[in-house]
Structure 1
Amino acid sequence: MKKFILILSVIFLIHTASAQLYIAPGADLRLAGNVQVTLQNTDLINDGAISVPATGRFIFNGNGNNQISGASVPYFSELEIAKTGTGLLTLANDIRVAGKILFTSNLIDMGNFYIDLGSTGYLDGEDENSRITATGTGEVLSTVTLNAPSGANPGNLGAVITSSQNLGSTVIQRGHQSQVNTHGTGSSILRYYDITPSNNTGLNATLRIYYFDAEKNNLDENTFELFKSDDNVNWTNVGQSARNTSMNYTEQTGLNSFSRWTLSNAAAALPVTGLKLSGQWKNGAAWLEWITQTEYHNSHFNVERKYEDDLNFFIVGRKNSAHPGGNSNTLTTYHWLDHPLSNKGPVQYRIQQQSLDGATAYSNIIAIRPDVNSQFIVSMYPTLHVKDGIYLKTGGLQVEKMHVRIVDMSGRLMMTREMNYQSGWLKLPQLAGGAYKVSIKSGDHHWEGSFVKD
């Protein structure tokens, strides 16, 4: 009786202004035989279960926007998108499709959810005007066994794989976000693939990536090349061996492994990938080293430095790209020697990369601490919850006396004292709770810090 009432509810609901097919918790919607459920301008909310035979089909049509949602993942045999006008089908939950998704008209927007085709599902008739897209992180995936595949296109997802090797069980995931690097720059087509085979070494594979014109993301398809990433932020241009702008594909041969793949071009791709800075204090100077994994139209690097009392970084050097035209697919190492003031405490550095078109990106920030013997004041503590005094740790300079000055945040003098140049506690006068600045001088040596009094 519960199933019968549910079907009556469907007939009623699809004629209401905000139509819904609602499957309540504990309810099971079962289709028998070659049954088609047509949801015209109707949402599907599944909090129960859907049982569909191999020939059963859900059809979403009408000119309105509708969605699939609910607490339970619906399991379809076949699903057809046949919206008209600007009608759109969106996902507010994952779905599973064991048979086919038939594209008659308009789009399916996955949002942040998944379409799982399993090992038997596939896309049928996807084209420029009727296809899967995603305004979020949603992906459509297929899981198949690929043994010496020749032109295999699992799930008709548009990633065509050829290899003389057995890849074994392989998961192909297709997403629709433009890919960027670790600095948030660069762009790709609005399509990428995560390809994860059980055997992922020595494949000598060919990968062909198809795309729609609507996914080109304002990039020139005449210069498309394949890009790969092992961590989804650092990208390598692997080039292309074939490109067909009429059939909308680009491919490359001789690929030894799979990971994340997309299409882009050198002009829009990441100017520099894998930019990482390191350094150390050595022989009275800061020795800097940075590496790049790839470079595209890279002009130069600016070395930027910041002392503790600086508000901003300042350019202290420039290093041009080591490669003609600023292009490289190999690991490159750069070095720089800087002589900062050793009496100003730890020094921060970063590298600003600038491409030929003026775009910039930055490396990580590192801090280098000069040798204690070359510092005027090494540290002061505590700096928070200060009670009666602060400890000043001095360096190894040939200095006899130092002059300590403490002011409040309005600049009013709270304390001044001359001390021997040696580490020790400085007893504070009676101070109200709040923040204070400390200035220590001795000849040309100068240090500044601050603390907060309870």
Structure 2
Amino acid sequence: MKRFTQLLLLALLLTTVTGHAQSKVEAKDAPSKVRKQVNEKGTAAATTPPAAGAAAADGEMEVGAGSDRQNNGAIESGNGSGPVSLVIGSGDTLEVIGDMEIVVSGDWQNNGVFKSGSGMVNLTGSGTQAIGNPAGESFNHLTVNKPAGAVQLNGDISVSGTLTLSSGDLDLNGNIADLGTSGTLVESAAGRVKGASGDIRTTRDLNAPSALNLAGLGAELSSSANLGATEIRRGHAPQSGNSNSGIERYYDIIPANNAGLDATLKFNYRQEELNGLTEANLVLFRSTDSGSSWRYRSGTADTTNNTVTLNGIGAFSRWTAAAIDQPIAEIIISANLKAFLEGPFDTDSM
């Protein structure tokens, strides 16, 4: 089914629903205002619009039965008493046509094909919601706007537009969130990216960047040099060494041209990531072997703006912040000493 009239596009937004009792899904904000009620186990009911505010029961909204579905309205999975998950079956396709929104109150599980178009997926459930796709999921815009709970990745995702965390955290759960060459992260006081493993990353071409916070990841770079294609990965596992641990954030900064940069790094962090360390004592440490060993590099902490800044960086690699009184590497201070002696000096007495 390659072409549909606008009415058929709206009427065929859904195929089956499995779960408990009934679930309501709307095709709204489209010219014909078509709504379709779908019964348990997938039997289509009358096309009469359901009563306003009808409750949605727990269950699943499934795109299945070997189908292709196109959407130029908005799909809403559950707006009542319980979460409703969206499931795309194996061999099936859900395609977003136009700048429209899919609102999901349960899990997102894609075993088939999702074509995100220029649309948005909005996760709004009150508990933990999972995003799963064995092959990795691709979104245009992805928004987390939950009254409670977090969104957990059960596989890699990519976001080419905006990843917005309005309310609720995104737990990487050992996976990768890739913003590619165009995506942007927007966090808030009520929503952040976190996770004991995994990372969020981006790649951009950088030529003489000036206070550039690449893709909103929080590693703010300045340099008069042409860094070329530069990948930044942000992880949240505390880096350790010297029997101590750093904060719950690190950056891998990987430019194509990585010598003679004379760069400045402003390292942004959040209060929730301090890991019990004294904020005023934060300094930067560098690793050239992915965190196996560390070297102290100093830096100036700004506890008001949650940053640590270091100038004069010749090359990038992995960076983290830790407390100078609990360093993750030995701090060696060298000095040139001169002695002014009077009278005889016996070296045997030293």
TM-score range, shorter chain: 0.7 to 0.9
Structure exhibiting the larger radius of gyration computed from Cα positions: 1
Where do residues 7-22 of structure 1 align in structure 2 (5 Å cutoff)?
7-9=14-16, 11=25, 15-17=57-59, 19-22=84-87
Partner secondary structure for residue 62 of structure 1: coil
Q: How far off is 1:249 after superposition?
A: 0.5
Q: How far off is 1:329 after superposition?
A: 7.6
Please name the residue that 2:113 is paired with: 49
Partner secondary structure for residue 16 of structure 2: helix
In the alignment, is the contact (CA less than 8 A) between 1:147 and 1:165 conserved in 2? Answer: yes
1:292-343 Cα shifts (integer Å, max 9, x gaps):
xxx24xxxxxxxxxxxxxxxxxxxxxxxxxxxxxx4489xxxxxxxxxxxxx
Question: What is the TM-score when the length of structure 1 is the normalising length?
Answer: 0.56
1:64-103 Cα shifts (integer Å, max 9, x gaps):
1110012222111100001113x21100000000000112
In the alignment, is the contact (CA less than 8 A) between 1:206 and 1:254 conserved in 2? Answer: yes
In the alignment, is the contact (CA less than 8 A) between 2:211 and 2:221 conserved in 1? Answer: yes
1:236-267 Cα shifts (integer Å, max 9, x gaps):
11101x32111111110000000000111222
Partner secondary structure for residue 268 of structure 1: coil
In the alignment, is the contact (CA less than 8 A) between 1:200 and 1:258 conserved in 2? Answer: yes
In the alignment, is the contact (CA less than 8 A) between 1:94 and 1:115 conserved in 2? Answer: yes
1:345-372 Cα shifts (integer Å, max 9, x gaps):
xxxxxxxxxxxxxxxxxxxxxxxxxxxx
Inter-partner Cα distance in structure 2 for 1:104 and 1:137: 22
Inter-partner Cα distance in structure 1 for 2:138 and 2:268: 28
Q: How far off is 1:62 after superposition?
A: 2.1
Q: How far off is 1:6 after superposition?
A: 6.7
Q: Higher relative contact order by CA 8 Å / sep ≥ 6: 1 or 2? A: 2
Q: How far off is 1:7 after superposition?
A: 2.5
More strand by share: 1
Give the one of 258, 263, 283 matched to 2:316.
258
Where do residues 55-454 of structure 1 align in structure 2 (5 Å cutoff)?
56-85=119-148, 87-124=149-186, 126-134=187-195, 136-181=196-241, 185-231=243-289, 232-240=291-299, 242-270=300-328, 273=329, 295-296=330-331, 327-328=332-333
Inter-partner Cα distance in structure 1 for 2:16 and 2:319: 46
Partner secondary structure for residue 21 of structure 1: strand
Q: Which runs of 5+ in 2 are unaligned?
A: 3-8, 18-24, 26-37, 41-55, 60-82, 336-350
In the alignment, is the contact (CA less than 8 A) between 2:110 and 2:137 conserved in 1? Answer: yes
Partner secondary structure for residue 155 of structure 2: coil
Inter-partner Cα distance in structure 2 for 1:130 and 1:59: 14
Q: Percent identity?
A: 33
In structure 1, give the amino acid aligned to 2:132: S
In structure 2, give the amino acid aligned to 1:43: D
Inter-partner Cα distance in structure 2 for 1:329 and 1:206: 24
In the alignment, is the contact (CA less than 8 A) between 2:285 and 2:296 conserved in 1? Answer: yes
In the alignment, is the contact (CA less than 8 A) between 2:166 and 2:188 conserved in 1? Answer: no
Question: What is the TM-score when the length of structure 2 is the normalising length?
Answer: 0.72
Please name the residue that 2:98 is paired with: 33
1:165-216 Cα shifts (integer Å, max 9, x gaps):
00000000000010012x7x31111000000000011100000011110011
Please name the residue that 1:304 is paired with: none
Inter-partner Cα distance in structure 2 for 1:104 and 1:149: 28
Aligned residues: 269
Give RMSD over aligned pairs.
2.1
In the alignment, is the contact (CA less than 8 A) between 2:143 and 2:163 conserved in 1? Answer: yes
